[in-house]
């Protein structure tokens, strides 16, 4: 409680996700987290519209990097903090401030997309409560983290600050980022997914050919004109990007509860987990390159235990680059899904990439399967 009685004023904030467009759905604006509570206590000053510096959208803002950094440097009485945030995007209506809508900007100052670690910077000026106008030494980062999380958890509790660090006045969360990593979760299987998975992965009823998807990934990796993988509204000056990684990996489902057989096979004598692909595939599919539900159907026909659901196979698409175009990741996942179910071939992938037109790619994947995993900076940060 003593931490929460410390008044401070927030002067500016900017987010790191240049691929912020991935965080929005439909016609929503790009992702723009800012550290403001929609109804903060009187001890915390509100953001004014001019205080917020949304810079996470890849909207050709490269030219503004120097001017924004200089503006931050001029705030000589403030401390700039680098803030890592984790959030469930399910109940957000978008990223930037919108009238009568709950947004990350309005709470933490996307729609549907989640973040394991998104990053923004914020300038905080600590003002004396007893002597208005007197500027006090900056708070310790841990104090800022605890205080902000207290107010966030009093509301919906779907946003949390996970790390705070002091940085130089001219440090910019977006323009200093060296690399961004996104994951996309796919659940493959004929049954509808559990209600616990409803807003955390894209359900694909068909079997997925993971080897065909991997070949498609190899075509897209590298330095290309990704005009076919940018959505209308993209304001990036150039469609050329370098995609450092695009992979598809089969993983355990998040909601994984082992059967009695699996419990015996997956645990070593010392109690630690032993990853056994055979034990997982034994109850969720054949484990072949082209997924199969034959074994699952057989169990069901032979009297599967009442109330037990067949498991889906879970795949994670990982995309890594310094920056992405508007909806680029979701458009690439939509393409990989089409390849995985056999609607497109690797030759089609090359044709779509070479077309360099926004209408060439199949529909993009929904937002709720997408996770911003990490924003990488220079080790000195």
Catalytic residues: 110
What is the number of other CB atoms lying within 10 angstroms of the CB of residue 145? 21
Give how far Cα 237 sits from Cα of 293, 358, 365, Å: 46, 15, 24
**DSSP per position, 189-201:** SSSPPPGGGTTTS
The three-class DSSP label of residue 85 is strand
| Alpha-carbon dihedral sign for residues 106, 107, 109, 112 | negative
What is the number of other CB atoms lying within 10 angstroms of the CB of residue 282? 16
188 and 207 in contact (C-beta within 8 Å)? yes
Q: How far apart are CA 266 and CA 278, in angstroms?
A: 10
Listed in sequence order, the residues at least 6 apart from 336 whose beta carbon sits closer than 8 Å to its beta carbon are 213, 216, 217, 248, 317
**Of 14, 23, 29, whose CA–CA distance to 233 is shortest?**
29
C-alpha of 314 from chain center: 18
Q: How far apart are CA 208 and CA 189, in angstroms?
A: 9
Q: How far apart are CA 149 and CA 37, in angstroms?
A: 10
Tokens of 62: 């490269």
Listed in sequence order, the residues at least 6 apart from 74 whose beta carbon sits closer than 8 Å to its beta carbon are none
Give how far Cα 233 sits from Cα of 8, 59, 180, 324, Å: 37, 9, 21, 14
Residues in the chain: 381
Tokens of 84: 């890592």
**DSSP per position, 145-202:** HHHHHHHHHTTT--EEEEEEEEE-TT--TTTT--EEEEEEEEEESSSPPPGGGTTTSE
């Amino acid at each position: 409680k003593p931490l929460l009685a410390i008044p401070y004023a927030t002067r500016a904030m900017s987010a790191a996700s240049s691929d912020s467009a991935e965080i929005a759905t439909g016609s929503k604006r790009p992702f723009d987290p800012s550290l403001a509570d929609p109804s903060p206590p009187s001890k915390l000053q509100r953001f004014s519209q001019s205080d917020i510096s949304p810079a996470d959208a890849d909207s050709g803002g490269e030219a503004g990097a120097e001017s924004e950094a200089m503006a931050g440097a001029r705030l000589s009485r403030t401390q700039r903090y680098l803030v890592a945030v984790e959030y469930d995007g399910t109940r957000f209506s978008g990223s930037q401030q919108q009238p009568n809508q709950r947004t990350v900007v309005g709470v933490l100052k996307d729609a549907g997309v989640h973040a394991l670690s998104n990053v923004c910077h914020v300038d905080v000026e600590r003002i004396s409560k007893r002597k208005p106008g007197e500027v006090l030494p900056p708070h310790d980062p841990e104090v800022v983290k605890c205080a902000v999380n207290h107010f966030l958890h009093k509301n919906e509790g779907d946003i949390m600050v996970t790390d705070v660090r002091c940085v130089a006045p001219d440090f910019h969360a977006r323009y200093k980022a060296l690399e961004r990593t996104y994951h996309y979760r796919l659940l493959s299987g004929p049954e509808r997914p559990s209600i616990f998975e409803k807003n955390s992965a894209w359900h694909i009823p068909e079997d997925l050919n993971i080897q065909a998807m991997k070949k498609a990934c190899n075509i897209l990796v590298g330095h290309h004109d990704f005009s076919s993988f940018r959505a209308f509204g993209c304001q990036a000056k150039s469609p050329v990007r370098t995609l450092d990684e695009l992979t598809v990996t089969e993983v355990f489902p998040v909601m994984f509860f082992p059967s009695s057989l699996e419990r015996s096979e997956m645990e070593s004598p010392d109690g630690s987990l032993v990853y056994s692909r055979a034990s997982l595939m034994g109850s969720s599919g054949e484990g072949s390159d082209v997924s199969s539900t034959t074994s699952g159907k057989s169990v069901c026909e032979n009297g599967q235990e009442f109330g037990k659901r067949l498991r889906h196979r879970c795949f994670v698409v990982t995309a890594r680059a310094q920056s992405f175009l508007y909806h680029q990741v979701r458009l690439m996942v939509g393409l990989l899904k089409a390849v995985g179910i056999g609607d497109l071939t690797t030759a089609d992938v090359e044709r779509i990439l070479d077309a360099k037109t926004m209408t060439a790619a199949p529909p993009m994947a929904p937002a709720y399967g997408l996770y911003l995993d990490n924003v990488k900076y220079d080790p000195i940060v």
